[in-house]
């Protein structure tokens, strides 16, 4: 549904140039929720703004619903952009208009006749659960309700794609959860494809099918969330399972073991302890529900150097677990 090829955006001001998006490739399949994570300044907003051409890329291709946006002009481009809705962190509502008036605004711009507008506004408000607040002004509703207005407004042109730039960053955790649920629901019911950017793991955990981690204008990892989490060295996994750098005691091996689905139910710790007659020390960890599966990470300490534990580590890997070994005791002793 969204295909981005070798996208590049450079900002130039005076003698300073910033490559905000640096040759990014991205594919978002129809009906998918795709999350882009990254620190401040990584280029996330710039990337998103290039998808609906709020920002003109320097090079690369942007295809949305099969249309090459950079090749379109005038009416054809306006029409294509209508198929892309967008929501923002700070909602951007018109304070002098009611909830219904805000939702009607894009319909007026599109030239939808007045008689049709009222029905369409009612339908949109129903979709986001705001029917009762149609006559309220933005100052009279909560942040979560404001974002619902933002979503209704973004859906006015019946877009196939919704772009979201930190839509829940200004909301408390409970409201965030309800907005994420609404987005997931719209994604399923309308088949809406969602490309969102966020710095919250919670967002990825709750609604993203796929994700990418962006740093300095580039994607450092990208793919289905469950797959990424099982990849050794995944930054996404480190974000989801925040464990401090371990203090590896000499003569021990500290390993982070990541497990998925079935293996979550397999007691690999006791199996390891029994098979090799060793004490396995659990140092930390957590299990998270990701989509339809559970993924967990456990940090364990084994007696002996990693070289001595080669068989134990192989045993874990052969059980389908992702194994990451922390600095050896030799390094620790230096
Ligand atoms: N209009 C602009 N002119 C010049 N530089 C810009 C402009 N917009 C963004 N940049 C620069 O491009 C880089 C990427 O900015 P961008 O806003 O895309 O990052 P971001 O990942 O969305 O960050 P945040 O999480 O803080 O929103 C930054 O170095 C930023 O300073
Ligand atoms: Mg941003």
The CA 156 to ligand 1 mean position distance, Å, reads 28
pLDDT band at 329 (very low <50, low <70, confident <90, very high): very low
pLDDT band at 195 (very low <50, low <70, confident <90, very high): very high
CATH of domain 241-333: 3.30.70.260
Given this model, what pLDDT does residue 299 score? Answer: 94
* Mean pLDDT value across the chain: 92
Q: Answer yes or no: are the C-beta atoms of 224 and 302 closer than 8 Å.
A: no
Count of other CB atoms within 10 angstroms of residue 74: 7
Give me 155's structure tokens. Answer: 């859906």
Count of other CB atoms within 10 angstroms of residue 318: 8
Residue nearest to atom 7 of ligand 1 (CA): 11
Of 10, 40, 46, best ligand 1 pocket probe by most atoms within 8 Å of the beta carbon: 46
- Tell me how far apart the alpha carbons of residues 10 and 44 are, in angstroms, rounded to a whole number: 13
3-state class (DSSP) for residue 141? coil
pLDDT for residue 90 is more than 50: yes
- How many Å separate Cα 245 from the centre of its chain? 25
- Tell me how far apart the alpha carbons of residues 162 and 157 are, in angstroms, rounded to a whole number: 11
pLDDT for residue 292 is more than 90: no
The CA 293 to ligand 2 mean position distance, Å, reads 30
Residue nearest to atom 28 of ligand 1 (CA): 41
Given this model, what pLDDT does residue 319 score? Answer: 85
pLDDT for residue 135 is more than 60: yes
Atom of ligand 1 nearest to the CA of 199: 25
> Which ligand has its closest atom nearest to the C-alpha of 10?
1
- Tell me how far apart the alpha carbons of residues 150 and 103 are, in angstroms, rounded to a whole number: 8
pLDDT for residue 264 is more than 90: no
Instruction: Tell me the whole-structure pTM to 2 decimals.
Output: 0.92
- Tell me how far apart the alpha carbons of residues 289 and 295 are, in angstroms, rounded to a whole number: 6
The CA 199 to ligand 2 mean position distance, Å, reads 10
Give me 152's structure tokens. Answer: 């209704």
pLDDT in tens, 273-286: 899 999 999 999 99
Atom of ligand 1 nearest to the CA of 55: 1
Q: Is the CB of 322 under 6 A from ligand 1?
A: no
Atom of ligand 1 nearest to the CA of 38: 21
Atom of ligand 1 nearest to the CA of 12: 4
Q: Answer yes or no: are the C-beta atoms of 241 and 234 closer than 8 Å.
A: no
Residue nearest to atom 6 of ligand 1 (CA): 11
Q: Is the CB of 20 under 6 A from ligand 1?
A: yes
Count of other CB atoms within 10 angstroms of residue 158: 12
- Tell me how far apart the alpha carbons of residues 232 and 103 are, in angstroms, rounded to a whole number: 46
Residue nearest to atom 4 of ligand 1 (CA): 11
> Which ligand has its closest atom nearest to the C-alpha of 20?
1
pLDDT in tens, 220-251: 999 999 999 999 999 999 999 999 988 888 89
**Unique residue bearing structure tokens 């007045």:** 114
pLDDT for residue 309 is more than 80: yes
Atom of ligand 1 nearest to the CA of 166: 27
pLDDT in tens, 319-328: 889 999 997 5
3-state class (DSSP) for residue 11? strand
3-state class (DSSP) for residue 266? coil
Residue nearest to atom 26 of ligand 1 (CA): 40
The CA 322 to ligand 1 mean position distance, Å, reads 35
pLDDT band at 291 (very low <50, low <70, confident <90, very high): confident
Give mean pLDDT, residues 163-181. 95
The percent of residues in the chain predicted with pLDDT above 90, rounded, is 80
Given this model, what pLDDT does residue 268 score? Answer: 84
CATH topology of domain 2-229: Rossmann fold (3.40.50)
For 17, phi then psi, to 5°, come to -125, 140
Atom of ligand 1 nearest to the CA of 217: 14
Give mean pLDDT, residues 299-316. 90
The percent of residues in the chain predicted with pLDDT above 70, rounded, is 96
**Unique residue bearing structure tokens 């987005």:** 183
Q: Is the CB of 43 under 6 A from ligand 1?
A: yes
Q: Is the CB of 46 under 6 A from ligand 1?
A: yes
pLDDT in tens, 16-41: 999 999 999 999 999 999 999 999 99
Extract the runs of DSSP E, i.e. beta strands, from 65-104: 67-68, 84-88
Given this model, what pLDDT does residue 332 score? Answer: 41
pLDDT band at 331 (very low <50, low <70, confident <90, very high): very low
Domain borders along the chain are 2-229, 241-333
């Amino acid at each position: 549904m969204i295909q981005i090829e070798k996208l590049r955006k450079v900002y130039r001001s005076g003698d300073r140039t910033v490559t905000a998006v640096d040759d990014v490739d991205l594919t978002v399949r129809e009906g998918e929720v795709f999350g882009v994570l990254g620190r401040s300044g990584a280029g996330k907003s710039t990337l998103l703004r290039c998808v609906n051409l709020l920002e003109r890329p320097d090079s690369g291709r942007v295809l949305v619903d099969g249309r090459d946006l950079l090749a379109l002009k005038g009416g054809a481009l306006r029409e294509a952009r209508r198929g892309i809705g967008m929501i923002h962190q700070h909602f951007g509502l018109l304070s002098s208009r009611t909830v219904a008036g805000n939702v009607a605004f894009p319909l007026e711009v599109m030239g939808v006749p007045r008689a049709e507008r009222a029905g369409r506004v009612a339908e949109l408000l129903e979709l986001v659960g705001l029917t009762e607040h149609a006559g309220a002004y933005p100052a009279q509703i909560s942040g979560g309700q404001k974002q619902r207005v933002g979503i209704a407004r973004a859906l006015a042109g019946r877009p196939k794609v919704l772009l979201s730039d930190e839509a829940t960053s200004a909301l408390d955790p409970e409201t965030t959860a309800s907005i994420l649920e609404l987005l997931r629901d719209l994604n399923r019911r309308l088949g809406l494809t969602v490309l969102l950017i966020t710095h919250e793991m919670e967002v990825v955990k709750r609604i993203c099918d796929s994700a990418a981690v962006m740093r300095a204008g580039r994607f450092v990892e990208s793919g289905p969330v469950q797959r990424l989490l099982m990849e050794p060295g995944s930054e996404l996994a480190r974000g989801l399972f925040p464990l401090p750098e371990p203090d590896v005691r000499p003569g021990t091996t500290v390993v982070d073991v990541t497990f998925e689905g079935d293996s979550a139910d397999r007691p690999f710790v006791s199996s390891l302890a029994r098979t090799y007659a060793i004490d396995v020390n659990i140092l930390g960890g957590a299990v998270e529900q990701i989509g339809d599966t559970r993924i967990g990470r456990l940090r364990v300490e084994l007696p002996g150097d990693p070289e001595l534990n080669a068989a134990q580590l192989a045993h874990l890997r052969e059980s389908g677990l992702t194994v990451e070994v922390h600095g050896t005791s030799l390094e620790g002793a230096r």
